Amino acid sequence: MKNTWPLTLVLVLCITSSIDLEARIGNLRFPIDVDLEEILGRGDSNNDGRVNISDTSFLCLYLFAGGQEPPCLNQADVDDNGRVDLSDIIYLNSWLFGGGASPPSPGPFNQHCAPDLTLPNLSCEAGCGSYLSD
């Protein structure tokens, strides 16, 4: 029987505008495919690259006044419960103005912008990749 040992690979990515990635282990090469539309910053409901009061206003209009759907529902799901609802507005306002907990990973853009590794994931037509690649 061949001896085997577990291999743990930790990969940390800092994405700017270039997304040609490849991991190398010895002589082995592994391409890494990063879909920028799946990269997001939680809380940026209007997808303008900032998390502020305009995001709570955008959510209020969407939820209660027939406003435009957020470009990335996953970013608008501020509390990461799999739904975009009033609790997201409350959570975001609490963080912005009341010293409440920061939105779950991946947090707002001023913290980082990354893939959402939690489930469930909502649709995301345009996350922060829509302006990272500009």
Residue 134's pLDDT is 39
Residue 29's pLDDT is 73
- How would you classify residue 43: left for phi > 0, otherwise alpha for psi between -120 and 50, otherwise beta? left
Residue 4's pLDDT is 56
Residue with tokens 């406003």: 67
Residue 48's pLDDT is 83
Say if pTM beats, i.e. exceeds, 0.75. no
Mean per-residue pLDDT pooled into runs of 10, the chain (134 residues): 52 44 70 57 84 94 95 88 94 92 72 54 54 40
**Angstrom distance (rounded) from CA 73 to CA 121:** 9
Per-residue DSSP letter, 36: G
Residue range 40-132 forms a domain whose CATH class is mainly alpha
The contacts found for 18-21 with CB under 8 angstroms, 24 or more apart, are 19/133
